[in-house]
Structure formats: C-alpha cells, structure tokens
Amino acid sequence: MTLLDLLSDGQVYEMLLVTRTNVTPVGVVKREKALSFKLFGGRSAEELVKWPHAALQATNDVGLIVRLALNIPLDSELPFEESGPYRWIKGLPGVYGDVGCTRKAHSDSLGTTEILSCSLFPKADIPGLLPPRPFSRADCALVEMAIDFTRLGIAVNSPPDEAKRLFSKIKKNYALFSRLGGKDKMGRKIMERALEIASKLGLTEELE
C-alpha cells in the first residue's frame, strides 16, 4: 500500500513540502491522482515558481513540523537524498513529482490576498518508516498554536478583533498542551512570542 492509498480524498493532511532548498509544512488534500496545497507566499512559493519539482512527506514528529514552520534551527541537520530534479528527506515516507501552480485570490478572516494554488503529480514513492509514536492531543494543541501564531504575525496589520481571537486561542491551546503533559520547549516559546506581540498591540490587559 502506498502513501497515496492511505489518504482520504478531500481531507487535509499536514505534510512536509521539500522544494529545491527549503522544507516547510503545508496542508495537503488528495484530489484524484494529485496532491493539492496552497502557499501564502514565503520561500517555498518563490522556489516552486522557478523550480516546479518537489516532494511531500509524512512525519509524526510535531516538534519538527513546528520548528520548520517557524524557522527554528533543528538539533541535527535533516539528511537529504536526490534524483534528477527531485530532492527529499531520507527516511520519511512520501512522494515526489512535478508541481503545477496558479495564482488565485484567497479570502479569509485576515482579508483577501493572492496565493499560489499548487498540485503535485506523484512520479515515485519515497520509502520510509515513521517511529511508532502514539497519537497525542498535546501534539494537536502544539500544532494549533503554531498555525495560529503564524497567522497572528499577519493579523497585526488587520483590525484588532482577529489578533485578539488568535491570541486567545493560543492561550487556550497552551493551557491544554500543558495540562496534557506537553513538554516540547516550542510550546512555551510560542506562548512567550505571542504574549510579546499581544502586549505591543495592547491586548494583554483585556484578556487577563
């Protein structure tokens, strides 16, 4: 059974997107034989426009996902392998192939922006095995914190209600993460950075 067979059509999976020189987490949806994802700017988007070849890989290491999203240095460098124009992280199951992207308007609670809507057409499977780490709700809370934190960085330029909502969600998920025994240092780091942003926006007093 290949990775593609394990994905339900239409469901979003968090995977690692490996481009020419970058790795970042993205939300991926299987649509027939392609894997679709959206890029809201950033280095991967710039690279894919110039070099439309990439890999999408699975991991159950939430610490890795969060560090890559926030560009925090990793304890040890990731091992890469390559073949022709394709590059991937050694040992993580996934697929590589060519990518087609189109620019599209995207509207959400942060306003309207132009995004890159992309589809990867799998050419080959990447072999790999994930460690038998059981599912943990503390990991879910940490991922939610990281997603809301990246959005909080953008929300600083929007009306304060959205930043307030995101900051309040980060606080709730940090409380859940701590209650469930989450130990990854990124939990505290995100909470501290979110607090700095919130106090600059004058949101902290309102929430205490």
Among positions 18, 39, 197, 198, the unique one binding ligand FMN when judged by CB under 6 A: 39
Smallest distance, Å, CB 40 to ligand FMN? 4
Tell me: does residue 155 bind ligand FMN (CB under 6 A). Answer: no
Among positions 20, 35, 44, 95, the unique one binding ligand FMN when judged by CB under 6 A: 44
69 vs 152, beta carbon nearer ligand FMN: 69
Residues from 46 through 105 that contact ligand FMN (CB under 6 A): 65-66, 69, 71
Q: 54 near 32, Cβ under 8 Å?
A: no
- H or E element in which residue 39 lies: strand 34-39
Find how far residue 144's CA is from the centre of its chain: 10
205: which residues sit within 8 A by CB, 6+ positions away? none
Tell me: does residue 146 bind ligand FMN (CB under 6 A). Answer: yes
d(CA 40, CA 125): 27
Q: How far is CA 24 from CA 5, 12, 180, 196, 201, in A?
A: 23, 16, 26, 24, 28
Tokens representing 91 are: 């040992």
150 vs 204, beta carbon nearer ligand FMN: 150
Smallest distance, Å, CB 173 to ligand FMN? 12
Residues that bind ligand FMN (CB under 6 A): 14, 22, 24-27, 37-40, 42-44, 65-66, 69, 71, 143, 146-147, 150
